[in-house]
Amino acid sequence: MRKWKALLLAAVMAFGLIAGSFSAYAEEAPSDESVVIALSAEPTSILSCIIAGQMNDPVAYMVYDSLVRYNSETGEVEPDLAVSWEMLDDYTWQFKIREGVVDQNGNPFTANDVLYTFQIGTEGGLSFYTRNFDVTKFEVIDDYTINIVTTNFQPDLLTLLCVACYGMTTEAGVNDAGGVDAACVNPVGGTGPYNFVEWVPGDHITLERNENYWGEKAYFKTVTMKFVSDATTRLLGLQSGEYDINASVNSEQVSTIESNPDLTLYAGNTLTGNYLLFNCKTPGLDNVQVRQAIAYAIDKNVILTAAMLGYGNLTQSTLSTANPAYVENPNYLFNERNVDKAKELLAEAGYSEGLTLRYRYDPGSIAEKVGVMLQGWLKEIGINVELVVWTDATGENAAGDWDIQLNGAGAYMLERAYNCLITGSGEYLTNGWSAWCNPEFDAAVAKIKEDKLTDMAERGQALADAFFLAEEECPIIGLYNTVTFAGSKAGIEGLRVSIQGSYTFERIHK
């Protein structure tokens, strides 16, 4: 069987003054070779600060640099267009900009271009800017120094800046393209390792190595990104050699790639954690012993195999094990299936005669497979599970018209990690909350906010202590983290997973 490459994604925050340079875009000398990458969808824009979406990210990461860059191999936030940064106070971040950087047309990149990028992103109404990046003001100190002042204490700002929509453009480059709308399809204001060449709608985008790049030059001279929506066509094209890289491999195709000695399978952990979510207002599920009995009755390893073919990791909470806030609970109770313990807890809770619970799911999804398995496991301990298809997920979630569901949440920002569908509010929201109430949990979360911890180890442990309360009382049962698959010709290296879970190709090489 062909050896596969596991890509670690574990976001690590860096605070204080950090200096250095981003290196090793290519681990070999630049070549005259070309590479063809099959994407599952066509981008909607290449000016990523205006229109976001995972289909845009692979091109955006190649054309644009950011202030900082996430390295999925080391789990670190590294310098990119910013050579260093520091927190001047609880709300003010100061970034020192790399000197001598020019865009595709030769226009210099300065602190004013950082301000310009955020201005057009904010004016464009992109949700990442308006929701996550709450800025009071920007202060351009000089050509290569800028302060970003946030409205609230935001220690996870560096990780947020790694998202593709915060790729930087020059104002002069946008003007060269003919304005913001024109720059969405003709992005000459980027400073990344590749320059834009052409976009043929419905077919491909071509990029060329940026010979004036400030860092190490990219390995491939030309990159062609083909838009191939059909998964089978992408696989066949990879097998025949028409494509060098298949950016999106379905789980059903994993064994085909893994067993082919001429191909390499990539399996990248993402920040999406998957879990069983309980409606804690449902009679029976409002009892912690019933929830714990269900946790003992299920077999997580079987679920991991069914959902991710055994790739990835089991998780104890809503968080992926790759999340910066994830800490292993040494006293976690539910790692192993224990039917006898489950029956004992159910009897102690007063449900020795059993109960009936509704599990809602989308047909044909992994949720349906998990529901069938859950139905079998819980029948052994006297719980009848009715499998019910979602008809109006938003309305049914908001109304609490469900008992159990399979859910998933991606949390690449540390500040949002503890807020993944566990809350003491006791209310339902449209994305489904557990309605679990625990004053001790609420107090722990409030103290983290109040203490404004900037030391990530200290902050992570404080968050973990809060999560341990939830893990014991089981308003959710953590299952596994999502894995994303890609395939390439043997010998091609350097695929990475972005902070958002899609593959990036700016460092690919042979």
Q: How far apart, in whole angstroms, are the C-alpha atoms of residue 465 and residue 457?
A: 12
The CATH number given to whatever domain includes residue 497 is: 3.40.190.10
- For 398-411, what is each residue's pLDDT tens digit? 788 999 999 887 76
As a whole number, mean pLDDT of residues 211-230 equals 96
Q: Are 357 and 277 in contact (CB under 8 A)?
A: no
Q: Which of these, 490, 479, 25, 10, lies nearest to 266 by C-alpha position?
A: 490
Does a structural domain hold residue 509? no
Q: What pLDDT score was predicted for residue 463?
A: 77
In a domain, 17, yes or no: no
pLDDT, one tens digit per residue, over 42-68 is 999 898 787 766 788 899 999 999 999
Domain of 276, CATH number, reads 3.10.105.10
Identify the pLDDT of residue 39: 97
Q: Which amino acid type is present at position 435?
A: A
377 within a domain of the structure (yes/no): yes
Q: Are 136 and 161 in contact (CB under 8 A)?
A: no
What's the confidence (pLDDT) of residue 126? 58
> 385 and 371 in contact (C-beta within 8 Å)?
yes
Using the structure block, give the residue that is written with the tokens 């930087």. 168
- In the block, tokens 């060098």 appear at 244
Domain that holds residue 208: 5-11+23-262+490-504
Regarding whether 219 and 245 lie in a shared domain, the answer is yes
pLDDT of residue 107: 97
Indicate whether 147 and 244 sit together in one domain: yes
Rounded CA-CA distance 155/135 in Å is: 13
- Within a domain: residue 510? no
Residues in the chain: 510
Instruction: Transcribe 222-260 into DSSP letters.
Output: EEEEEE---HHHHHHHHHHTS-SEES---GGGHHHHHT-
442: tokens are 């609420």
DSSP string, 279-296: -TTSTTTTSHHHHHHHHH
pLDDT category of residue 130 using cuts at 50, 70 and 90: low
| CA gap 220, 35 in Å, rounded | 7
* Choice among 270-274, 425-429, 489-493 with the minimum mean pLDDT: 425-429
Mean pLDDT of the chain: 86
Cα gap 423→445, rounded to integer Å: 10
In a domain, 16, yes or no: no
pLDDT band, residue 319 (cuts 50/70/90): confident
**Token digits of residue 51:** 């229109």
- Burial status of residue 404 (CB atoms within 10 A of its CB: 0-12, 13-18, 19 or more): buried
Mean per-residue pLDDT, 24-52: 83
Mean pLDDT of 201-228: 97
**pLDDT tops 80 at residue 72:** no
pLDDT above 90 (res 254): yes
Cα–Cα distance for residue pair 456/464, rounded to 1 Å: 12
Co-location of 367 and 255 in the same domain: no
Q: How many CB atoms lie within 10 A of CB 490?
A: 12
Assigned domain for 289 exists: yes
pLDDT confidence bin for 13, thresholds 50/70/90: very low
447-456 confidence digits (pLDDT tens): 877 888 777 6
- In this prediction, residue 80 has a pLDDT band, given cuts at 50, 70 and 90, of very high
DSSP 456-468: HHHHHHHHHHHHH
Please report which confidence band the pLDDT of residue 233 belongs to, taking 50, 70 and 90 as the band edges: very high
Together in a domain, 230 and 283? no
One-letter amino acid at 346 equals: L
pLDDT at residue 324 tops 80: no
256 vs 260: CA distance, rounded Å: 6
By DSSP bridging, strand 222-227 and strand 204-209 are: antiparallel
Residue linked to tokens 């109430």: 437
For 384-395, how does the pLDDT look when each residue is reduced to its tens digit (9 = 90+)? 999 999 999 888
**Residue 77 host element (H or E):** strand 76-79
pLDDT above 60: residue 418: no
Counting the structural domains of the chain, the total is 2
Average pLDDT over residues 458-474: 82
